[in-house]
Chains A and B, each alone.
Chain A
């Protein structure tokens, strides 16, 4: 049996486990991939888990990482042992405080899951660009290469900082280590107590600020003394490496695991050495062992102490026989002479040589290389390529590995077929859907194997860039030796496909090595299954002699009450056929794991899963494999033949999960991409889609409004356009008078619909004889797919409506072409209908700055982009700067647009003699208050461009370039409540205060949705969220009221599911208002904990409860003596509790702490009533717009 203290956890939990036990305060802010560390700490404190000194650490969420670091700084100064968890941009926001903390010689550790800093693009994945940006702060840095090391180094870092007074960043690779589940040994509380030096902790406390023995820190110093005072710190840095070494030594004595600041592994007489830190070091270690077994003179130097960089210790760790060194940096610093660690090593070698201390018989050749940016794979074949490079007479310097650089030719050639995976290591790859529980089950499986057997085990999980219908790929390994393969499984001896549809989308079997086992969830009988495989799958099975098992897990799940969750069933199949454990024992272990996972939630959930396990084996079949293929059906092409070249050449490769193969030349150098590429990605994730009964339809267009994915659309058009319509294409006479004689069609995009049902739910048109039948009914997609695909293509070919003829109301707005389509947002997303509406109303002249978060991810996460253009090529110009600066970023758009417009007007006046006064005057005085006005101005600009084309002057050329700015631009800042209420509030407030014509759309879900439901200041009272596990006790911040206090800001609070008419009004008013406008839009979200198909009822209910009052505050009304505030919803008609108890975010607390739930519910009800009363009174005030200064 396995040792009892060996556990399977991921790097984040491993780190937090130590940090929570040896700190008193954790001030955090969520950011991927570090969020889980803070969440673990919060969860443990919420449950009353104590640190090793017997107190419960205070875990507090701040409004930003800047705020978190400030709180950490203050807490440290006041004497508490304090930490934080962060990454990437978050770490960058902490830099100002980090300078201070280090400058004041304060013992502290920040735990960082190292992540890419956004440059040409954001990336949530891992590299060392963030920690490298902190080199100058004076912090020590300790690197962990594995989950075990992350656990251990969290402790060693604390020991080192207490001893040295130098604060430390303890970092490990985001995702690769933070999210890898691995077998490790847990440090006990007693061991931690032994390792934490009480005297040093006392010293830390004695340095604290206290009025009992006051001192002053944070003085301002002047040229006379600052320099000297700064140099006074030097002895501490000189002593620091010794403290780290001592900490590692003491740790080994107590815990038994030995570490060195610079740890060499390999041949004692190595000639070629790779210097590297982070998870990549383990891949090199693995390769070094493989090569030295084959008598190669190679080695790896693992850098654990990156700062201070201890030259002597580093040199001492290298074999004197070293002839060639490659220093691998997981970061890129354009313009430098080399990446940072390469320069460090070069300096160390150079100084040693210059000072005559060089230990080498011959001076080694030194090269630097880049690898692994944004979690790019770094595997054995790549390590082999680095060692081979070092063998050449003139090794390539400043090289890259892991990509094909056909532009600058930096990359090393890699033999992709090279493989060192030993036969006694299980390597499994599992394809699943995010919603089918595959990842959870695989985590369970690998935990069973790691904790219940002597095997070492590793699980790593790859996720989709989409939220709806997301694919997951689990990579599992286990075997008799520690696993150092810190890269994906490439050749698997077990491949499982948990979703049949993936066989038509992905080359699932590319992972299968000859003789591997293939398990597939098939909706067909074992006999039929073979014939249903596409040709590529049949060929792979025959050629590689795969053993194939199938099960109809979907049916088994449904029959056993598991709904769509096939995870337990597929997990049971895996154990049953992989032979890891005797079958009975395996089943018992699975049930044990189920009991462990769900036992606390009740016998009912356990029983559901047990029933699924029991039903599995009878339905699992090994397939007889024929000798020849039986089909000619190939996997369909990834994108249509009609797609543009870039989409076929680049996007399609990414869509096929083969983006790693794309060379550098495939990419724009500045992160600029074309719009509208989601249209080529036919995802076919809906099981059911709406079908339209044209006779029943009342033509209200509400279905089109509520669709989160622009996958159901409407057109009104001339009957003549119906020539050539497909046989099944539906059209009826348009009923209203605004387009007399026109035809009308509601059409679904069958391959883009996600099946969320919102359109069918909102449809008000019921069959009087059979009310179950509505004008929109959900029906299975598969039988309609082809027919409706053809119909949709025809529909798209019909002309778009003439915008100047549309009356902008709920119905009319939906005739306008959406310029945001088929995004990767969740099924039933509550944000995207607003974004789509924005593009319908203003998209052809909109500039959108988008805060980081859900809306930036579904807005622009490659491979495809949902913002698109109209037939004139116009569409939203969209960009994401950061999370915290979005309002300011958008303001920058406004400033540039205004400046350019002013310049254009100036040029126009200068050229008035040539252009003609009439046109100039018309251009300068144009009323662009409606679509007709915009269209007329566009016509004038066309005329202007034609006129000035013949003018040969610099002014004319400049005007030709910017003449389009004479047409009004609509500038928007869009983001979630995390941005608007918390991290970006200061900027948002300032932008409102400028009075400039900015439109701000806040998609308010009441939590940080993108990072997994952490509380924000928009979280309603009584709701449970991460960092508010006990239910939020404070009222939701009233952002609208705060903005109204300015007086000059247009403010609206809307909920399209409750009053769509008011939403449309608010968007129009906000955009037309020539000052700052703020729309706070209620956005339902899966983080609220209910089926999104019911979302519109929930929107209605929250408005009815008074918790989300609808209103519009228009300063223009005050000018004419009217009250600017109009309440658009009635006084509460249902108790808040009635609404709240339909959502798990509120219900949860009634289960975990009924007393507190009751108390919060009472408080929330009271607060809602008070807030509504305030609004009601404000809306009834009489306003005097005169100059007397009196008011009533």
Chain B
């Protein structure tokens, strides 16, 4: 059975990729995942904002209490206390040394120069590709939709121009015209689109009247949104696609590939079931393919996308009407 696929120019042994998550922080876990059959790793995101906040924190700490004769500082000043991407870059190097599968770095920048600077460093550290995590929530009423899109496109153009390794873009579903944006992103240099980012939704504590961070693992329900947009985009946009969010089992992987995904990123299922879940999923995919007499993943790639599905309207507005009708009945 041929499960191989290509993604961002990388030849992968199967479409299953470990998505950006805490799973990628431990070399032991990475080794376990590889042993279990994962085809590639996306490392956890490097957040420039965090680095800047830490830098400012260090500056603030340096001043704290430094005006007293007996204590001109309160913490030791080891030269090795490095605020910056050093540890992340070291982790890329170690991951590359440890694994034989491709290692994809993930970047969330915040300053104009930060995106390119960190991307270049990731490339130098040995990353096989970079996934740009363009997580950004606009709360500014003077910023319009075009501004948001243009900023994303400029980031992609700059990073893609700065590095020679392939660059993918992890998108949010909250754009008014995803196909147009996707086309422009590919023109700007994106080698793949990753659909979609899952925003951690804050919750409200009604006792203490506080907003509290709330991490919920993905559910299969979330896969639907991905499937639709994979189907729409893969029909018209010439680039690779990765599905992320809601793929837990073999059937989800198969659906994603059929909708147009070259790879399927799994996180929540691995957090729940552990690294061995990869093996089980791949075996189930193979079993299903065998049962249904598929010889390769390539056969099913995009087979259910907008241009190939027997009923394209199922992905478009008509689909919405149909669902409403079904409720009426």
A304 at the B interface (CB under 8 A)? no
Q: Return the CB mask of B31-48 against A: 1 if under 8 Å, else 0.
A: 000000000000000000
- Number of B residues with CB within 8 Å of any CB on chain A: 38
CA distance A255 to B91 in the complex (A): 48
Which residues of chain B are near A1010, meaning CB under 8 Å? 70-71
Q: Give a binary string over B72-85; 1 marks a CB under 8 Å from any A CB, 0 the rest.
A: 11111111111110
Q: Which of A467, A603, A1029 has the most CB of B within 10 A?
A: A603
Flag if A608 contacts B59 (CB, 8 Å): yes
CB-based contact B60/A565 at 8 Å: yes
Is A826 interfacial (CB-CB < 8 Å)?
yes
Neighbouring A residues of B81 by C-beta, 8 Å: 600-601, 1148, 1151-1152
Residue of A nearest to B64 (CB): A1086
- What residue in chain B is nearest A566 (Cβ atoms)? B63
A1012: Cβ under 8 A from any B Cβ = yes
Chain B residues with CB under 8 A of A601: 55, 58, 81-84
Q: Interface size on A (CB < 8 Å)?
A: 66
Can you give 29 contacting A-B residue pairs, CB < 8 Å?
A32-B70, A33-B69, A124-B70, A435-B64, A437-B63, A439-B72, A463-B68, A464-B67, A464-B68, A470-B68, A471-B67, A561-B52, A564-B63, A565-B59, A600-B81, A602-B55, A603-B84, A605-B83, A768-B209, A771-B210, A1010-B71, A1013-B71, A1086-B64, A1089-B61, A1089-B75, A1144-B75, A1151-B87, A1152-B80, A1153-B80
**B57 proximity list for chain A (CB < 8 A):** 1144
| B82 lies within 8 A of A562 (CB) | no
Determine which residue in B51, B65, B210 has the highest number of CB atoms from chain A within 10 A of its CB, and name it.
Answer: B65
- In the bound complex, what is the Cα–Cα distance between A61 and B59 (angstroms)? 29
Are the CB atoms of A602 and B82 closer together than 8 Å?
Answer: yes
Bound-state CA distance A1153–B79 (Å) is 12
Given A561-B52, A1144-B75, A470 contacting B84 (CB threshold 8 A): no
Contact of A43 with B76 in the complex, beta carbons under 8 Å: yes
CA distance A433 to B64 in the complex (A): 10
Whether A434 contacts B66 by the Cβ 8 Å rule is: yes
The answer, among B59, B68, B83, for a CB contact under 8 Å with A563, is: B59
Let me know if A1112 is at the binding interface, CB within 8 A.
no
Beyond the given A434-B65, A603-B84, could you list 7 further A-B residue pairs with CB under 8 A, ordered by the A residue number? Answer: A434-B68, A600-B79, A601-B55, A603-B117, A1029-B78, A1086-B65, A1089-B74
A434-B63 contact in complex given A604-B84, A1009-B71, C-beta closer than 8 Å: yes
Q: Is the CB of B78 within 8 A of A1152?
A: yes
Answer whether A1151 and B61 are a contact pair too, CB < 8 Å, given A440-B66, A602-B51. Answer: no
- Among residues of A, the one whose C-beta sits closest to the C-beta of B111 is A607
The answer, yes or no, to whether B56 is at the interface (CB within 8 Å) is yes
Question: Could you list which residues of chain A lie within 8 angstroms of chain B, going by C-beta atoms?
Answer: 32-33, 35-36, 39, 43, 46-47, 124-125, 175, 179, 432-437, 439-440, 463-464, 467, 470-472, 561-565, 567, 600-605, 608, 766, 768, 771, 826, 857, 1007, 1009-1013, 1024-1026, 1029, 1085-1087, 1089, 1091, 1144-1145, 1148, 1151-1154
A467 touches B76 (CB 8 A): no
Residues of B within 8 A of A1152 (CB): 78, 80-81
For B65, list chain A residues within 8 Å (CB). Answer: 434-435, 467, 470, 826, 1086
Q: In the complex, how many angstroms separate the beta carbon of B113 from the nearest chain A beta carbon?
A: 8
- A771 near B209 with CB under 8 A, answer yes
Query: How far is B52's CA from A682's CA once the two chains are assembled, in angstroms?
Result: 37
Which residues of the partner chain A approach B202 to less than 8 Å between Cβ atoms? Answer: none
Smallest CB separation, A406 vs chain B (Å): 29
Q: How far is the CB of A855 from chain B (nearest CB, A)?
A: 13
A601 to B54 alpha-carbon distance, docked (Å): 10
Contact of B62 among A437, A1024, A1087 (CB under 8 A): A437
Task: Report B302 CB to chain A, min CB distance, Å.
Answer: 43
Residues of chain B at the chain A interface (Cβ within 8 Å): 51-52, 54-84, 86-87, 117, 209-210
Cβ distance A627 to chain B, nearest Cβ, rounded Å? 38
Known contacts A561-B56, A605-B59; decide if A175 and B78 are in contact (CB<8 Å).
no
Q: Which 9 A-B pairs have the closest CB atoms?
A: A434-B67, A602-B84, A470-B67, A1012-B71, A771-B209, A463-B69, A604-B55, A1087-B74, A1152-B80
Cα distance, A817 to B64, chains bound together (Å) = 31
A1012-B79 in contact given A435-B64, A1086-B65 (Cβ < 8 Å):
no
**Residues on A with beta carbons closer than 8 Å to the beta carbon of B63:** 434-437, 440, 564-565, 567
Known pairs A602-B55, A604-B55, A1010-B71; A440 contacts B62 (CB<8 A)? yes
**Smallest distance from the beta carbon of A721 to chain B beta carbons, Å?**
35
Residues of B within 8 A of A608 (CB): 52, 55-56, 59
Residues of chain A lying within 8 A (CB to CB) of residue B66: 434-435, 437, 439-440
* Whole-angstrom CA separation of A1024 from B74 in the bound complex: 11
Interface contact B67-A472, CB-CB below 8 Å? yes
Whole-angstrom CA separation of A433 from B51 in the bound complex? 27
Bound form: Cα–Cα A859–B272 in Å: 55
Shortest Cβ distance from B224 into chain A, in angstroms? 35
Cα of A1012 to Cα of B75 in the assembled complex, Å: 7
With beta carbons under 8 angstroms apart, the residue of A33, A435, A436, A1024 that contacts B75 is A1024
Residue in A435, A1009, A1151 whose CB lies within 8 Å of B82: A1151
Chain A nearest Cβ from B174, distance in angstroms: 26
CA distance A1144 to B73 in the complex (A): 13
In-complex Cβ contact of A602 among B61, B78, B83 (8 A):
B83
CB neighbours of B78 from chain A (8 A): 43, 46-47, 1024, 1029, 1148, 1152
In whole angstroms, what is the CA distance A36 to B83 when docked? 25
Known: A602-B51, A605-B59. A467 touches B75 (CB 8 A): no
CA distance A602 to B85 in the complex (A): 8
Whether A1012 pairs with B59 at a CB distance below 8 angstroms is no
Q: Which residues of A contact B60 (CB under 8 A)?
A: 563-565, 1091
Chain B, Cβ-Cβ closest to A597: B62
Query: In the complex, what's the smallest C-beta–C-beta distance from A197 to chain B, in angstroms?
Result: 34
Residue of A with least CB distance to B53: A604
Tell me, in angstroms, the Cα distance from A561 to B54 when the chains sit together: 12
Most interface-central of A439, A1007, A1144 (chain B CB within 10 A): A1144
Contacts of B59 in A (CB 8 A): 562-563, 565, 605, 608
* A432 cross-chain contacts in B, Cβ below 8 A: 67
Give the distance in Å from the alpha carbon of A147 to the alpha carbon of B82 in the complex.
31
In the assembled complex, which residues on chain B have CB atoms less than 8 Å from the CB atom of A35?
70
Task: List residues of chain A with CB within 8 A of the CB of B67.
Answer: 432-435, 439, 463-464, 467, 470-472
Interface-centre pick from A175, A437, A602, A1013 (highest chain B CB count, 10 A): A602
Contacts A464-B68, A1011-B70 given; indicate if A1148 touches B82 (C-beta within 8 A): no
Chain A residue numbers with a CB within 8 Å of B52 are 561, 604, 608
In the assembled complex, the CB of A811 is this many whole angstroms from the nearest CB of chain B, namely 20
Point out the residues of chain A lying under 8 angstroms from B117, CB to CB.
Answer: 603
Among B66, B79, B81, chain A packs the most CB atoms within 10 A around the CB of: B66
Taking a contact as CB atoms closer than 8 A, the residue among B62, B74, B83 that contacts A1009 in the complex is B74
For the complex, give the distance between the alpha carbons of A125 and B67 in Å.
Answer: 15
User: Contacts A434-B63, A467-B68, A1151-B87 given: A1012-B56 contact, CB under 8 Å?
Assistant: no
- Find the A residue at minimum CB distance from B114: A604
Nearest residue in B to A609 (C-beta to C-beta)? B59
Contact call B75/A563, Cβ cutoff below 8 A: no
Known: A434-B63, A602-B83. A1145 touches B75 (CB 8 A): yes
What is the CA–CA distance of A396 and B55 in the complex, to the nearest angstrom? 60
Q: In the bound complex, do residue B70 and residue A1144 qualify as a contact, i.e. CB atoms below 8 Å apart? A: no
Which residues of chain A come closer than 8 Å to B68, judged between CB atoms? 434, 463-464, 467, 470
Chain B residues near A434: list those with CB within 8 A. 63, 65-68
Q: Which residues of the partner chain B approach A32 to less than 8 Å between Cβ atoms?
A: 69-70
Once bound together, how far apart are the Cα atoms of A601 and B83, in whole Å?
Answer: 5
A604 touches B83 (CB 8 A): yes
Q: Which residues of B contact A175 (CB under 8 A)?
A: 69
Shortest Cβ distance from B204 into chain A, in angstroms? 10
User: CA A930 – CA B60 in complex, angstroms?
Assistant: 46
Report the bound CA distance from A857 to B74 in whole Å: 16
A471 to B71, CA, bound (A): 14
Task: Report A-chain residues with C-beta under 8 Å of the C-beta of B73.
Answer: 1012-1013
